[in-house]
Structure 1
Amino acid sequence: MLDRHDPVATMEEFIKTTISLSTEQNIESLLNQIVSTARQLTGAEAGRVYLLDRTKRYLYPKVSQNDIIDTPLVYLSQISLYSENQRNTKHPCTYCAFSGEPLNIPDIYRYSGLDCTDFYNCDRYTGYNTQSLLALPLLSYTEITSGILLLLNFRDPKSGDISHFPSHLESLVKAFASQAAVAVDNAQLIEQNTRLINLLNETNQQLEQENRVLKQKMGKQGRFTDSLIGESAAMQHVFNLMEKVLNSNATVLLRGETGTGKELIAKAIHEKSPRCEAPFIDQNCAALPETLLESLLFGHKRGSFSGADKDKKGLIEAADGGTLFLDEIGDMPIGLQAKILRVLQEQTVRPLGALKNRKINVRIIAATHCDLESLIKEGQFREDLYYRLCVFPIDVPPLRARKEDLPTLLQHFLSHYSEQYNKQLRGFSPPAFEVLLRYDYPGNIRELKNRIEQAVLLSEPGGSILLTHLNKTLLDQTESSILLPTLPPGTLKDMLQQYETAIIQQSLQAHNGNQTRTAETLGLSRRSLVGKISRYQIKM
């Protein structure tokens, strides 16, 4: 028990407590220590701390101590600092908060200057009897009240009775409250910073996770874009299927029309798979007779047939560790299909003329434009081979089913062939671009490439791809409204003039503004062309 009449002991305890408060960072522990020390310094039977809320409109109870009876915070109400937008100075705590000065009440039940209803209600709920009260503001370094230290029922150390708090204790506990307020401010700042740091860390972790997910998603979407072009839903579905089969050894069957890029897809699967360092070997099964195809695939031993003067490794064995792509598998002779089935089942190969099988590790990707189910019914394709091949089927969409990819494909092939033939082109004229977009491309990507290559070869350096550079097949399948400019209503003379203007503009664009070559193309003299350009006010 502190001897409050011994100034040396009191000062030592004060300094010791101040140091202790400055090192406490947990706000709950700090406030309990403040109340406990203040009670010890003053001989108060009970004590509480009210803190200012974030909106600075309420004081809310944070800590409550009582030697006589337990006073849970649930019995203590928050105190409003304002009433009808006016300062509420009727409550002892709010009066103290706004005045910034200590408040010493000898007996709350005999004091009529302030509204002590909250204390009466708390006493009624808990059975406690509050008498004397000493309220002190916790003033921050900016002289703003951040809370209230409330001490209740001074017990006289000599008589043991409850009486008012002696005036000489006010200065001591006021000095203590000032130090306590600084400690509270520091602890609240540390708590706030810790909360912000934790929030920032959680946000950063969430962002990092979202970033990883986004990178994975973008990686999956863009994993094949170095070799394949396709933002359409149809191609994204193909990419998703490719992604799922990359890290397996499952046989893949690519089904789709001729020219859809099945070989590119097979190569992309190989290049992104764990087998990427091993060979990728492709063979078209429709291009060769059965005996020659068998020799190519399986290899042969020296002397196995006339002209076999040395051992030759087959493509299947050459692809060991890697991928063998069998294009047009539906056209493979049925006699050879049984041997391919054995390769798939046993992962072994026996060259022509050999006596023993050789163990291999090869992944087979097959492709076909045929309806294999129909070929099975017709007896032209083995059903058991079909099920071995069709472990993981991928249907490659025709170009007409992915029209949204056309603009990107057109620009890609234009750039490719412009670079290949060393031609700087300005792009597609709007009518030519419209025709290319509307065409269905029965030959798919292969046909598209050929059409653009032909147009680049026919175009003039520095000019644009015009309708005149497009293949007649494309023009025949487009509506005449695309080939002619849209003309506003007017007289026949006006419409002819506008049409002539459009033709001259397109021709000038095709020849990069060269008037001599434009005049030659249009069958005009240069002088006549210059006259029309001036008369129609055609901008170069």
Structure 2
Amino acid sequence: MLGQIAQPLAYAEQLLQQFTHLARLAGAERLPAALAEAAAQLSGCRLAQLYLLDSTHTCLTLAAEWLDGQLAEHEASLPSDYDGEQLLQYCLCQNRPLSLASLDPSLHETSFLPVIDKPWRSLLCLPLQDEQARVAGLLLVAASGTRDLEGFAASLASLGTFALAQHQLLQRLRAPRASLPEPISPALPSDYGLIGTSPAMRGVYQLIGKVLHNPTSVLLTGETGTGKELVARAIHDCGFRRSQAFIVQNCASLPENLLESELFGYRKGAFTGAERDRKGLFDAADGGTLFLDEIGDMPLALQAKLLRVLQEGEVRPLGSTQTHKVDVRIVAATHRDLRALVEEGRFREDLFYRLSHFPIELPPLRARAEDILQLARHFAEQASAFLQRQPCRWSEAALDHLAGYAFPGNVRELKGLVERAVLLCEGGELLPEHFNLHPAGLGDTDSAMNLRERMEQVERNLLLDCLRKNRGNQSQAARELGLPRRTLLYRMSRLQISQADV
């Protein structure tokens, strides 16, 4: 009995000693090797490896390898898509431990393990998370004998996460001050190539990190012009499917019959003009990502076929009686309220729940005002480079002019305004007169307006914003505002809002 109690106590004491040892290390460069050594000693395994993902999540590197009591001095990077390393890919994509008490080289690809005198028989692989709860690396231990290593999973994962946090903290503390980003700068690699440091965008980055390395379908929502396609591309480019195709299809741009043949393909003779077999976009995106923009505008008949793809991974081309499997990740986007469309019978309820497993709502630009100037500088640099000009200087008046604008068209409107301003700029300095800002988006700066006029201006802006969000659909706008349609029409008439304004 005493021996049974003493054994867990002895392991707990060893674990505490390893935590203390890692905490006392002063150099970030020593932590990977120390963690690998600690994992090997605690588990009693011949091998321990530490893999780290880079800040863009596109490269998995062997940072440290402890083999037979000594550190192996070499570095190795795995292919960026991790396709050849299915065991490591599983841990990354599923964000869950993998324990194999009987490792079979004929069934499992183990080229990432070093060659030794005996075959490897047991394996434990653990995902390590960073401060934002995103997978940032893998800790692996392996033994040449058949062993159940699952009992070490919790303690080694805690130790690895602690060491990873220490490693990142020491790297930040030792980074030279000159390398720190300026208040207004291009996007950081950790932001997946997107621009913005506001709290609203940080929340988006955290959600992207959660879904990056798993095959879950994603639904992007938000107003038009908020950058939904950019986020979809970031999810693809920084995920494990990055080496495969990224296909885009706008569901509102084609009539139903053409959209069906475009998505699912067709067989020769399926309809007049079908002179040969043609693959659809699901086949073109096999292994990669299919981005379905404006999913709320997809016809109901096609929604049923899309649901079949999501549930079973099967596609049946037009004119064919046979289905075939595809491995496609669906990222859908809409500016519409899909729940309201479900209630109206214009969107399938089962498809809505299937797509909304992981929704990401993109904030409008007015909700991330801190990012406006950063985005403006970025677009100005892009426009100057395209026109082969020297970068334009920004006057303080121009920056203040932009900062006070509401941007009903969001990032798309800002991009167009800045590109036009760069074209108009001839003296090398951007001025307020270079920006053609719509009065409805400007803050009220007329101190001569009385209270009634100010309130009417606020109401007019609110109605315009809602009508634009719903593409001029007055019934949907009235429902969103909680008004009868007749009341909305009356207020539009009183405030002189015409279809041209929308």
Q: CA deviation at 1:235?
A: 0.5
| 1:458 and 2:281 matched | no
The corresponding residue for 1:246 is 212
Query: Are the aligned partners of 1:425 and 1:464 in contact in 2 as well (CA < 8 Å)?
Result: no
For residue 333 of structure 2, give the secondary structure of its aligned residue in structure 1.
strand
Q: Quick check: 1:280–1:324 contact (8 Å CA) kept in 2?
A: yes
**Equivalent residue, structure 2, for 1:326:** 292
Distance change in 2, residues 1:226/1:384 (3 Å): closer
How has the CA–CA distance of structure 1 residues 199 and 292 changed in structure 2, closer, same or farther, with 3 Å as cutoff?
A: closer
Q: Which residue matches 1:469?
A: 434
- Tell me the distance in 2 between the aligned counterparts of 1:249 and 1:279: 15
Contact 2:291 2:331 in 1 (8 A): yes
Give, in whole Å, the separation in 2 of the partners of 1:350 and 1:474: 51
TM-score after normalising by structure 2? 0.53
Counterpart position of 1:203: 26
Structure 2: state its 5+ residue gaps: 1-20, 32-162, 173-179, 181-186, 448-502
- Structure 1 337/476 Cα, relative in aligned 2: closer, same or farther at 3 Å? closer
- What secondary structure does 1:422 align onto? coil
Match of 1:266 in 2: 232
- CA deviations 1:358-401 (Å, max 9, x no partner) are 11111101001000010001000000000110111111101110
Separation (CA, whole Å) in 1 of partners of 2:242 and 2:257: 30
Alpha-carbon spacing, 1:253–1:444, altered in 2? closer, same or farther (3 Å)? same
Contact 1:427/1:465 (<8 A) preserved: yes
Contact 1:435 1:478 in 2 (8 A): no
User: What residue in structure 2 maps to residue 128 of structure 1?
Assistant: none
Asked if the contact 2:316–2:324 (Cα under 8 Å) also holds between the matched residues in 1, the reply is yes
Task: Confirm or deny: 8 A CA contact 1:432 1:467 kept in the other structure.
Answer: yes
Cα offset for 1:255?
0.7
Q: CA deviation at 1:418?
A: 1.1
- Tell me the distance in 2 between the aligned counterparts of 1:352 and 1:224: 43
SS of match in other structure, 1:324: strand
| Matching residue within 278, 294, 297 for 1:312 | 278
Q: Percent identity?
A: 51
Name the SS of the counterpart of 1:203 in structure 2. coil
Identify the residue that residue 255 of structure 1 maps to in structure 2: 221
Q: Aligned equivalents of 2:257 and 2:193: distance in 1?
A: 34
- Inter-CA distance 216–330: structure 2 relative to 1 (3 Å threshold): farther
What residue is the counterpart of 1:362 in the other structure?
A: 328
In the comparison of the two structures, how many residue pairs are matched?
282
The equivalent residue for 1:353 is 319
Residue in 1 aligned with 2:249?
283
**Distance in 2 of aligned mates of 1:237 and 1:200:** 30
> TM-score, structure 1 length as denominator?
0.49
Q: Could you list the per-position Cα deviations for residues 88-121 of structure 1 after superposition, in whole angstroms to 9, with x for gaps in the alignment?
A: xxxxxxxxxxxxxxxxxxxxxxxxxxxxxxxxxx
State the alpha-carbon separation in 2 of the partners of residues 298 and 215 from structure 1: 52
Judging changes above 3 Å, is the alpha-carbon distance between structure 1 residues 357 and 228 closer, same or farther for their aligned structure 2 residues? Answer: same
Residue 476 (structure 1) shift: 7.5
- 1:212 Cα offset (Å): 2.5
* Kept in 1: contact 2:223–2:335 (CA 8 A): yes
Deviation, 1:216, is 9.9
Equivalent in 154, 163, 168 of residue 213 of structure 1: 168
TM-aligned CA deviation for residue 304 of structure 1:
0.5
Would you say 1:409 and 2:375 are equivalent positions? yes
Distance in 2 (alpha carbons) for counterparts of 1:200 and 1:424: 49
Q: SS at 2:258's partner residue?
A: helix
Deviation at 1:199, TM superposition (A): 11
Aligned to 1:429: 395
Structure-1 residue corresponding to 2:10: none
Counterparts of 1:283 and 1:233 in 2: how far apart (Å)?
A: 31
- Shift of residue 475, structure 1, vs aligned partner: 9.2
Aligned partners of 1:436 and 1:474 also within 8 Å: no
Q: 1:450–1:310: structure 2 CA closer, same or farther, 3 Å change rule?
A: same
Q: Tell which has more relative contact order, 1 or 2 (C-alpha 8 A, sep 6+).
A: 2
Q: Which has the higher helix share?
A: 1
Q: Secondary structure at the match of 2:262?
A: helix
- 8 Å Cα contact 2:207/2:360 also seen in 1: yes
Q: In the TM superposition, what is the alpha-carbon distance from 1:349 to its structure 2 partner?
A: 0.3
Q: Name the SS of the counterpart of 1:394 in structure 2.
A: strand
Distance 1:200 1:372, change over 3 A: closer
In structure 2, the residue matched to 1:48 is: none
Contact 1:435 1:475 in 2 (8 A): no
The alpha-carbon distance between structure 1 residues 297 and 431, as it changes in their structure 2 partners (threshold 3 A), is: same
| Displaced runs of 4 or more, over 3 A | 198-211, 213-218, 221-226, 478-482
After TM superposition, the structure 1 = structure 2 runs for residues 142-181 of structure 1, keeping only pairs within 5 Å, are: none
Q: Which residue of 1 aligns with 2:307?
A: 341
Q: Cα deviations across residues 478-518 of structure 1 (Å, max 9, x unaligned)? A: 55589xxxxxxxxxxxxxxxxxxxxxxxxxxxxxxxxxxxx
Displacement of 1:240 in angstroms is 0.5
What letter is aligned with 2:343? K
Equivalent position amino acid for 1:254 in 2: L
SS in 2 for 1:313: coil
1:224–1:268 CA contact under 8 A, matched in 2:
no
Structure 1 residues 324 and 476: alpha-carbon distance in aligned structure 2, compared to 1, 3 A threshold: closer
Q: Which runs of 5+ in 1 are unaligned?
A: 1-197, 483-540
Bigger Rg, which one: 1
Residues 273 and 433 of structure 1, relative CA distance in 2, 3 Å threshold: same
Q: CA RMSD in A?
A: 2.6
Cα distance in structure 1, aligned partners of 2:338 and 2:171: 36
Aligned pairs for 1:364-379 within 5 A: 364-379=330-345
Alpha-carbon shift at residue 422 of structure 1 (Å): 2.1
